[in-house]
Amino acid sequence: MSANGQSETLLYCHPDTPCPAVASIKATIGWKQGRTLKIVYTLNGAVDRLRVPPRRSARRANGLWRHTCFELFIAAQNDAEYYEFNFSPSGEWAAYGFRSYREGGSIDNDDLEPNIAVQQSGETLELSAVLRADRLSGIAPEIRLSMGLSAVVEDLNESLSYWALKHPFGKPDFHHPDSFAFELTVPGSKS
């Protein structure tokens, strides 16, 4: 963790899903106030060769991973339960809770609505999401989190590439425990 409370890391493209239009994707993550988490994804490359969903009103939506979107997976370290968040450049979002590997479903809690901001140019697509982690049961002060930071990128040919901190062997799978490769401690005190 850097002095300003944020860490930066690179995402890597799954070798079976290349995307020549993308030069790099980095993620910057850290705590804002209390247990408010801010994550910024910065995609560098030929953005005009990508399919980026058009801006819409912020709302919950399913199937965001079928197009360009950024994802965050959060689990208490050494716990089978985890959360998944999808953030679309459209401003749409989704939240899921899982008891174990892929066993779960949508969380219908509008209190989780992230604040999503997007900036786009010819060479950069930046999406930031601010999420109230204190509204997630199981994310208590001072526990160590294992996190998966990932992205799905769609090109103009409708081909998808999959980006993550770490990919498990085989096909792309952001839910796999090996993908939860980033660690962060929840601030605050247990009182």
- The label of the residue with tokens 């989190």 reads 145
Reduce the DSSP state of residue 151 to 3 states and report it.
strand
Distance of CA 90 to the CA centre of its chain: 15
pLDDT reported for residue 33:
81
Residue 155 tokens, joined: 């090109």
Q: How many residues are present in the chain? A: 191
How many other C-beta atoms are found inside a 10 Å radius of the C-beta of residue 6? Answer: 15
Contacts of 170 (CB under 8 A, 6+ apart): none
pLDDT reported for residue 1:
37
Q: How far apart are CA 89 and CA 180, in angstroms?
A: 23
pLDDT reported for residue 34:
78
Type of residue at 11? L
pLDDT by 10s per residue, the chain, length 191: 333 468 999 999 999 999 999 999 999 999 988 789 999 999 999 999 999 999 998 899 999 999 999 999 999 988 899 999 999 999 999 999 999 999 999 988 878 889 999 999 989 999 999 998 888 887 888 889 999 999 999 999 999 999 999 999 999 999 999 999 999 998 876 54
pLDDT reported for residue 187:
87
pLDDT reported for residue 3:
37
Sequence ranges of the domains in the chain: 6-185
Three-class SS string for 68-136? CEEEEEEEECCCCCEEEEEECCCCCEEEEEEEECCEEEECCCHHHCCEEEEEECCCEEEEEEEEEHHHC
pTM of the model: 0.93
6-185 placed in CATH 2.60.40.1190: yes
At CB < 8 A and 24+ separation, what contacts does 169-177 make?
171/16, 172/14, 172/16, 172/17, 174/71, 174/73, 174/84, 174/148, 174/150, 175/73, 175/84, 175/98, 175/101, 175/102, 176/101, 177/101
